[in-house]
Amino acid sequence: MTGHPARMSPAMRLAWMYVILLLPVGALNYFDRQMMASMKFSMMESIPEIGNDANWGFILGLFKWVYAFLSPIGGYIADRFSRRWTICGSLFVWSAVTWWTGHVGGYTELLCARALMGVSEAFYIPAALALIADYHRGPTRSRAVGLHQMAIYLGVIGGGFSGFVADNDQLGWRFAFWAAGLFGVIYAFPLVWLLRDVPRDDTDLAGLASRPSFWGSTSQLLRNPAFLLLVACFTLPAMAGWIVRDWMPAILKERFDVSQGVAGVTATLSYQIPAMFGAVIGGFLADRWVQTNTRGRTFISAIGMALFIPSIFGIGNAPSLVVAALFLTIFGFGWGFFDCNNMPILCQIARPELRATGYGIMNLVSISFGGLADWGFGALKDQNIPPNIIFGLLSLAAGLSGVLMLLIRPKPELASR
């Protein structure tokens, strides 16, 4: 934040208050997802129809494919109508689906629940980050987005602890879904009362009025070379990121013969706590650097991507749990640098009325490939392909993204919009 709270303007206090209101929502958004990864063995034992790792990977991938397909539509609705109502509606519906997931009785029903989860969650992230960017224009934008991303990391950490809930005979994996779903449904009601869309200025309103359709907005974005580069940069590291999130608890359990709870907590804490520090530090550095160089945010993001190369390779070749945790720490720190700057960089290359749609398109491509990576990793494991080979290829893809990031040229006229 900028300075002592007493010196903040009322507008800036309001801007930070909205970020704080969204923190529980961002945490819950990823808590609900991470529980699946951390409770894999309990769920597969409870639902024998799942059968093998390829089917489990398909469950994980289906969520991402549905989520990805609908993200641009969710972003467009947030751009065209209301970010506030998009956020609150998404929270209510996905929380209801989370509650229902705790009641599923078979593989097909679980697939349906995950697909509906993808539908409902697709509307949140583009709308939330666009709302934050609306209120934080200029020197606080990366820090505000970074704070929201910290909540996401906390949600992943919380989801990692759900392995202990699943192992508890008095609770179990179903209880974790029931409790998380109920909390989200309840929180949606005060949030819709407290949250507000930012009043649009004449320039923003003119942009809204002149935009013909969803396809027109998409066409404008796809004709922007800088946006296409950002989509590629957002996608290439995410393949490794999703595998680390979704498969690392199982990888650690199988490779180092630890309990489901220990594996889940190690996988999430080693990665997510450094990511929180990376988001704070990366957001601060990016906000400072961009004041003297419009490419400051892209430079910070590229530094984060450079850390992916040794860390992803090291994760795949770690000889012990401690070494694996060390490389996960490096990966997490780099991820924080990368993650806190994606929406701020988008704000430097796209007008305000295109940003949620743009982030939705980024999600569409990135998470589609993430779903393929989840499914493919499971299929390759079933074929006994060594993980170090898979992670080696992922490290090369992440390295390429850093090079592409340096090719993005921000537009100075969008810096304060």
Q: Write the pLDDT tens digit of every residue in 18-44.
A: 999 999 999 998 888 778 877 888 888
Supply the pTM of this predicted model.
Answer: 0.77
224 SS3 class: coil
Per-residue pLDDT at 1 = 44
Tokens matching residue 336: 């924080």
Per-residue pLDDT at 417 = 62
* Distance of alpha carbon 87 from alpha carbon 329, whole angstroms: 31
Strand intervals (E) in 259-391: none
Q: Tens digit of pLDDT for each residue in 297-319?
A: 999 999 999 999 999 889 888 89
Residue 287 Cα to chain centre, angstroms = 21
Residue entry with tokens 């999600």: 363
Please give the span between the terminal C-alpha atoms of the chain, in angstroms, as a whole number.
19
Per-residue pLDDT at 414 = 65
* Distance of alpha carbon 255 from alpha carbon 145, whole angstroms: 36
In eight-state DSSP terms, residue 91 is: H
Per-residue pLDDT at 413 = 66
* Distance of alpha carbon 347 from alpha carbon 335, whole angstroms: 19
How many helices (H) and strands (E) are present in the chain, helices listed first? 17, 0
Per-residue pLDDT at 285 = 95
* Distance of alpha carbon 152 from alpha carbon 162, whole angstroms: 16
The single-letter code of the amino acid at 370 is: G
Per-residue pLDDT at 149 = 86
Spell out the residues 6+ positions from residue 156 whose beta carbon is closer than 8 angstroms to its own: 30, 31, 33, 34, 245, 268, 271, 272
Per-residue pLDDT at 2 = 46
Per-residue pLDDT at 224 = 94
Tokens matching residue 254: 């199988």
CATH 1.20.1250.20 fits 23-197+205-414, yes or no: yes
* Distance of alpha carbon 94 from alpha carbon 181, whole angstroms: 8
**Which residues, given as ranges, of the chain have pLDDT below 70?**
1-7, 200-212, 413-417
Per-residue pLDDT at 5 = 46
The secondary element (H helix, E strand) that includes residue 354 is: none
Tokens matching residue 134: 């609306």
* Distance of alpha carbon 224 from alpha carbon 349, whole angstroms: 8
Tokens matching residue 89: 């509606």
* Distance of alpha carbon 140 from alpha carbon 92, whole angstroms: 29
Per-residue pLDDT at 167 = 83
The single-letter code of the amino acid at 86 is: T
Per-residue pLDDT at 4 = 47
